[in-house]
A and B are shown apart, each in its own frame.
Chain A
Amino acid sequence: MKDLLRYRDLVATLVIRDLKVRYRRSTIGFLWTMLQPLLTMLVLTAVFSAIFRFELPNYSVYALAGIMFWNFFSQSVTASMNSLKGNAQLLTKIPTPKAVFPLATVIAGVINLLFALVPLFVILLVTGHSIQPAVLFVPVAILIAALFTFGAGLLLAPMAVFFYDTIEMISVLMTLLMYLTPVFYPMDIVPEKYRWIVRFNPLRSVLEVFRDPIYYGKIPPLTHLTVAVSVTAVALVVGIIAFRRSSDRIPFYV
């Protein structure tokens, strides 16, 4: 892991390659990063303010922040899982620390998330949502989310190499996890007796820490923050241990 610092130029190059490859074939390029969450937000807002009616003021901001977070997390985890297989040509022939691949993937995800912040702030202005100084906390929240995602990626990437169906399985679990996380619904629509499930979902605190400063205009409460930092630390430690233990076997299986 300490090698990663020595290979920082490599990580930067892999990030740029990632972004280039992602946008090379599409005509409006990285604009999609901004457009996609906006369009999803429009759909959700239409559906949930017309049909289901959540009692949430300015639902579109709530939903958009949630979608951005979710997109970052799910896309980065999926891309991390593919990163070792996708770079099999490189890592079976050159003695490079293998963690650079999931790391570069998550960093590319963060950059996409930063791009997506632009339309978010446009929506904040358009809808007249008040922007509080607490918004300066967002970078910290993104850092927490990135480290959590990196941990998850480190754990899952080797599994995807050893077992072909990890990717399929995780994609199903991701859908489940999305519904167990208050990405686009408010906490209080969850029936009392099921609320503990959502509450114990480790991802939820990480999400709220990101959304609180944007939607509620406040620094996240200490309870959320403590939980988010703790689960992130656990995810990182577990991810690093799992990756180190399996790292030597990866070139035999990719």
Chain B
Amino acid sequence: MTSNGVVIELRDVSLCYRLAKRKIPSLKEYAIHFVKGSLAYEELWALRDVVLSIEEGETVGIVGRNGAGKSTLLKVISGVLKPTRGTLRRRGWVAPILELGTGFDFELTGHENIYLNALLLGRQRKEVDEQLDAIVEFSGLDDFVRSPIRNYSSGMLARLGFSIATAWKPDVLILDEVLAVGDARFLKRCGERIEEFRQAGTTILIVSHDLAALQKNCRRCLWLEQGRLQADGPVGEILDRYREFVEGTGTPPGA
């Protein structure tokens, strides 16, 4: 492997959510605890020493049980959360589709949210102007774009989010379980668009519990367990081991 084509590189990345053991909502209490040295935190390490390097154009699936750190890993890679320890190196424009309704203001219309969302992703107004019709067309929302998105169904939100984030070819596309709610026809169109990006060299990261879909779409797969990168390799092999583990017949992690 040459380092030329590396798009994402994580070196010993750990991420800790510090949860105050006691709720300390006031400055006064904070000052008291600080002086007494009794600021107790519960440390929750969502990621531990993750070492990872992803090449340009790879499509990588990520599996793991709930709370294994999958979403946190995607948030670190997309730049929303900064690692507590370790370093992240990344190249190019990232389109993160992290959750339903990501980066939307529910009081605004679909139309207004297209601008808001795309600008939040670092696009310029002019670029949005150019792509507006294409985004609306792809989302299939038609006249709904003129009503506030609080009236949208989850499927409609997913469609809008996907349409915006993929209106420009990203260097890295991050999909976190977002396609679970779309209807068959829309999923097909998403699949086609993702395939187009893949052909054009976009790096794709997919978190999903739909193992069959991962098997079909990815070549490489990561398995996270309690914040650690449990396994990293060809999708078939990893998914077999993961399946065995989840069904309780496989070797437990760390054994």
Contacts and interface: CB of A to CB of B under 8 A. Distances in A.
Interface of A: 6-7, 9-10, 12-14, 17, 21, 24, 89-96, 163-166, 169, 248, 251-252
B201 interface: no
Given A94-B103, A169-B27, A252 B81 contact: yes
B26 A94 contact: no
Contacts of B120: 10, 90, 94, 96
Contacts of B81: 251-252
Nearest to B25: A164
| Chain B interface main SS type | loop
B125 A9 contact: yes
B110 interface: no
Contacts of B82: 248
Interface stretch (B111-119, B133-141, B215-223, B236-244): B111-119
B17 A17 contact: no
A237 to B, nearest CB: 23
A28 B117 CA distance: 29
Interface of B: 17-18, 24-27, 30, 75, 78-82, 94, 96, 98-99, 101-105, 107-108, 112, 115-117, 119-125
Contacts of A12: 125
Contacts of B101: 89
Contacts of A14: 116
B63 to A, nearest CB: 22
Nearest to B94: A95
B96 to A, nearest CB: 7
A246 to B, nearest CB: 12
A17 B30 CA distance: 35
B112 A17 contact: yes
7 contacts: A7-B119, A9-B124, A89-B104, A93-B75, A95-B94, A163-B26, A252-B18
B98 A93 contact: yes
A88 B104 CA distance: 11
Contacts of B105: 17, 89-90
A165 B24 CA distance: 10
A93 B80 contact: yes
A44 B4 CA distance: 70
A24 B107 CA distance: 10
A13 B119 contact: yes
B119 A10 contact: yes
B26 to A, nearest CB: 4
B93 to A, nearest CB: 11
Contacts of A89: 101, 103-105
Nearest to B23: A164
B96 A93 contact: yes
A252 B119 contact: no
